[in-house]
Homo-oligomer: A and B are copies of this chain.
Amino acid sequence: MLTKEQLIEYSEDARKTYLDHISIDCVVFGFHEGQMKVLLLKPDDEEKWLLPGGFVQKLEPIEMAANRILKERTGLDKIFLQQFHIFGDPDRAKFHHDLYKDTVPDEENWFAKRFLSIGYYALVDFFGVVPQADQFSELCTWRDLDDMPELLLDHELIFKTALDTLRLQLNYQPIGYNLMPGEFTMPELQKLYETILDKKLDRRNFQRRILGFGILTRAEQPRKGGAHKAPYLYSFDLEKYQNALTEGFKGGW
């Protein structure tokens, strides 16, 4: 244990040495018309795009910060959020730094700092979102997964890491409750998996596997009205879904 004097000295040292700045960047996934979408911001006077993000406030739990930030951009309140990595290269804020470096000296420029950024990914209901730009951006909108623009900073890396994590997650957790509408058909759910994985799946094997998870309830009436054979409607059995989320699927060992 330190003495009083040691503690005060240590504290002064530490204050100079260790202060840092935490931001959160979110990869928000939505699903619409058979396409996986990501919510992006287009900053003023810039070609490239950004992930929605913000700063963690003093004493604010990071989970709460992530929810707050996403509420500002999407209007949504209770969002499926998953922390997946922290990114911490010292020069990752270079964009904002460069943008303002001729305007004000570094000492007065908040952006002339290193930002550690916590990466979250979110799975949301496409129709529930009302995209809202922030003060630095002219646009906040959905972009297709297979038509992504170039991203600023290390947001390319953050996005890729999020997608990899999501794909990995498919192997041991159910997915879809947060992305699909209340009722959906099996082919629609399959399309979700196919866009996430970026590959075709066999219709019949997909159906068997998904049903084998035991997390779906089939409605009595199929969906009428469309062309072709009327498909059955399914919904997630929330209790079993939640259980599968915590338990995980197959063991491996």
* Chain A interface (Cβ < 8 Å from any Cβ of B): 1-2, 4, 7-8, 10-12, 14-15, 17-22, 43-45, 55-63, 83, 85-86, 88-90, 99-100, 103-104, 108-111, 114, 116, 118, 135-136, 167-168, 170-172, 193, 197, 201, 250-253
Contact = CB atoms under 8 A, between A and B. Distances in A.
Contacts of A85: 83
Contacts of A62: 86, 88, 116
B61 A136 contact: no
Contacts of A168: 172
A89 to B, nearest CB: 6
Instruction: Across the A-B interface, give the 5 residue pairs with the lowest CB-CB distance, nearest first.
Output: A171-B252, A11-B110, A62-B88, A14-B110, A59-B90
Given A7-B100, A18-B55, A59-B90, 6 more contacts: A14-B21, A14-B55, A17-B57, A56-B88, A83-B85, A172-B252
A14 to B, nearest CB: 4
Contacts of A251: 171
Given A10-B110, A19-B21, A1 B59 contact: no
Contact of A20 (B20, B99, B136): B20
Nearest to A1: B44
A240 to B, nearest CB: 20
A45 to B, nearest CB: 6
A171 B1 contact: no
16 contacts: A2-B100, A2-B136, A4-B103, A7-B104, A8-B109, A11-B110, A14-B110, A17-B57, A19-B21, A20-B20, A22-B116, A61-B90, A63-B88, A167-B253, A171-B251, A171-B253
A138 to B, nearest CB: 10
Contacts of A61: 88-90
Nearest to A20: B22
Given A4-B103, A61-B89, A109-B7, A18 B15 contact: no
Nearest to A88: B62
A209 B250 CA distance: 16
Given A21-B19, A253-B201, A45 B7 contact: no
Nearest to A197: B253
